[in-house]
Amino acid sequence: PPPPPPPPPPFFFTPHHATPDSVASRGLGDVYKRQHTDRFTAAVSKAPVINWISFVGTTDGSSWYYNFAKLPWEDPSEHLRRSPLMYVGNVTTPTMLITGEKDLRTPMEQTEQYYKALKLRKVPTAMIRLTDGWHSRSRPPTNFIRVQLYLRNWFERFSVK
């Protein structure tokens, strides 16, 4: 049987717009939702996993490898089927991506792949590289404030007036 879908992301609702905002494994749910619906006016993914094949060789979390029936070099089909990059052609929602450059769990290259794909498709997008950031975007404390300001600006920019 196919694997269960990723958990749904936390959602931020106001009377004027609905926007998903998520982190890492929840980021998968966020990306999945945007690829299968157009109900959001804007979205943000923080430290997303975008390509499960390249993720296998770049993450510090080897336990992820066991979420698949086979390793990608044995049979890449499940990795491809579960990779958000394979469905970027369905995305129309303006998307901001935020990742720390020092993130070893979900490396920056994951964010870069999705950003480039969205740009090629001319989907409004922004990529925030936290030069001093790891997997948590709240350390140092200035990153927490910076991320909150980016989120506010992004969601206000695309809210329905």
Structure tokens at 7: 């958990």
Cβ count near 7 (within 10 Å): 12
**pLDDT value of position 103:** 84
Give the pTM: 0.76
Q: For the chain, what's the residue count?
A: 161
* Sheet hosting strand 43-46, strand order edge to edge: 11-13, 18-23, 43-46, 95-100, 125-130
Average pLDDT estimate for 7-33: 44
Residue 125 scores a pLDDT above 70: yes
If DSSP codes are grouped into helix, strand and coil, which group holds residue 95? strand
**pLDDT value of position 150:** 92
Q: Hey, which residues does 44 pair with through a beta bridge? A: 21, 96
Share of the chain above pLDDT 70, in %: 73
> pLDDT tier at 131 (50, 70, 90 boundaries)?
confident
**pLDDT value of position 33:** 55
> pLDDT tier at 17 (50, 70, 90 boundaries)?
very low
pLDDT tens column, 35-91: 556 678 899 998 899 999 988 888 888 787 788 999 999 999 999 999 999 999 999
**pLDDT value of position 118:** 97
Q: Which residues contact 123 (CB under 8 A, 6 or more apart)?
A: 91, 92, 93, 94, 95
Share of the chain above pLDDT 90, in %: 40
How buried is 71 (Cβ within 10 angstroms: 0-12 exposed, 13-18 middle, 19+ buried)?
middle
Query: Cα separation of 61 and 13, whole Å?
Result: 32
